[in-house]
C-alpha cells in the first residue's frame, strides 16, 4: 500500500491492484467497465496498461491504480506486478473450466504475498454456458484464503464490478492501517516495560 508519510496536505493515498488471469476471461472488459461504466466487446487481448480511478473508502478519498496484465504464457514475468501491487484480483470465466485451473496457478504465486486477493468468476451472464459451478469457485477461494469471492459479468450491472475493486482496495487499506497501529503500539511501549520483558524472557529461556 503506497501510503508514505507526506507533509503535503494535497497528498492522496493510493492502492495498486493487479488483475490477473488467462487470456479470454474478460480482464480488460472488467477494467473498462470499472473505469468507464461501459462494456466493450472488442479489445486487444495483448494490451497491458495501468489506469487510475478516484474512490472514497472508509470516508477517505484514495486513488485506485489498476494494472491490466497480459502474459504470453501462464504466470510468466510475475515480478512486474509482484513488485508493484498492494492487492490482486484473479479472474476466471465460468464458461471455461481450464481458466479456473489457470487462476489457481496465479493464486499459487500471489497467495504468498500477504496482500489481499479476490477471486472472480466472470461472464456470469452466460449461465446457459456455465462449465464451472459457483461452489468450485468458492472452494478455490477458500483453499487459497482469498479475501473475497465474486461472480460478476462485465456486461451487466456496474455496481457489482465496482464492488470487486473497491472491496479488495478496502481490504488493503484496512490491513495497512492495522500494521501502522501495531507499529505505533510497539514504538510506544515504555523503556521500563522493554527491560522487564527482556528480563522476563531471559528468566524463562536461560
Lowest mean per-residue pLDDT among 43-47, 54-58, 155-159: 43-47
Residue 19, classed as helix, strand or coil, is strand
Architecture of domain 14-205: 3-Layer(aba) Sandwich (3.40)
In angstroms, the CA 77 to CA 129 distance is 32
Query: The dihedral of CA 168, 172, 173, 175: what is its sign?
Result: positive
Give tens-digit pLDDT for 100-115: 999 999 999 999 998 9
Q: How many residues are there in the chain?
A: 206
Tell how strand 117-122 and strand 49-57 pair up.
unpaired
Give tens-digit pLDDT for 130-174: 999 999 999 999 999 999 999 999 999 899 999 999 999 999 988
- Average pLDDT of the chain is 85
In angstroms, the CA 64 to CA 13 distance is 9
In angstroms, the CA 72 to CA 23 distance is 9
Residue 203 confidence (pLDDT) above 70: no
* pLDDT of the residue at 170: 94
Q: Which whole number is the average pLDDT over 175-198?
A: 63
* pLDDT of the residue at 12: 67
Q: Give me the residue spans of the domains in the chain.
A: 14-205
Query: The dihedral of CA 154, 159, 162, 164: what is its sign?
Result: negative
Q: Which residue has the higher pLDDT, 192 or 179?
A: 179
pLDDT band at residue 195 under the 50/70/90 scheme: low
Distance, C-alpha 48 to centroid of its chain: 17
Give tens-digit pLDDT for 22-40: 999 999 999 999 999 999 8
Share above pLDDT 90 across residues of the chain, in percent, rounded to a whole number: 62
Residue 5 confidence (pLDDT) above 50: no
Q: Which residue has the higher pLDDT, 203 or 41?
A: 41
* pLDDT of the residue at 102: 94
* pLDDT of the residue at 178: 73
Amino acid at each position: 500500500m503506497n501510503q508514505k508519510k507526506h507533509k503535503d496536505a494535497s497528498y492522496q493515498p493510493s492502492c495498486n491492484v493487479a488483475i490477473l488471469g488467462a487470456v479470454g476471461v474478460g480482464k480488460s472488459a472488467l477494467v473498462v467497465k470499472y473505469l468507464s461504466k461501459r462494456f466493450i466487446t472488442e479489445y486487444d487481448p495483448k494490451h497491458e496498461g495501468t489506469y487510475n480511478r478516484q474512490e472514497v473508502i472508509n470516508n477517505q478519498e484514495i486513488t485506485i491504480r489498476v494494472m491490466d496484465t497480459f502474459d504470453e504464457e501462464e504466470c510468466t514475468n510475475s515480478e512486474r506486478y509482484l513488485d508493484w501491487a498492494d492487492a490482486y484480483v484473479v479472474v476466471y470465466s465460468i464458461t471455461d473450466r481450464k481458466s479456473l485451473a489457470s487462476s489457481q496457478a496465479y493464486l499459487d504465486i500471489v497467495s504468498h504475498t500477504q496482500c489481499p486477493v479476490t477471486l472472480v468468476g466472470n461472464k456470469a451472464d452466460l449461465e446457459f454456458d456455465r462449465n464451472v459451478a459457483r461452489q468450485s469457485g468458492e472452494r478455490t477461494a477458500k483453499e487459497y484464503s482469498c479475501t473475497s469471492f465474486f461472480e460478476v459479468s462485465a456486461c451487466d450491472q456496474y455496481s457489482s464490478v465496482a464492488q470487486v475493486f473497491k472491496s479488495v482496495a478496502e481490504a488493503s487499506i484496512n490491513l495497512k492501517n492495522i500494521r501502522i497501529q501495531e507499529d505505533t503500539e510497539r514504538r510506544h511501549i515504555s523503556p521500563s516495560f522493554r527491560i522487564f520483558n527482556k528480563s522476563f524472557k531471559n528468566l524463562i529461556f536461560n
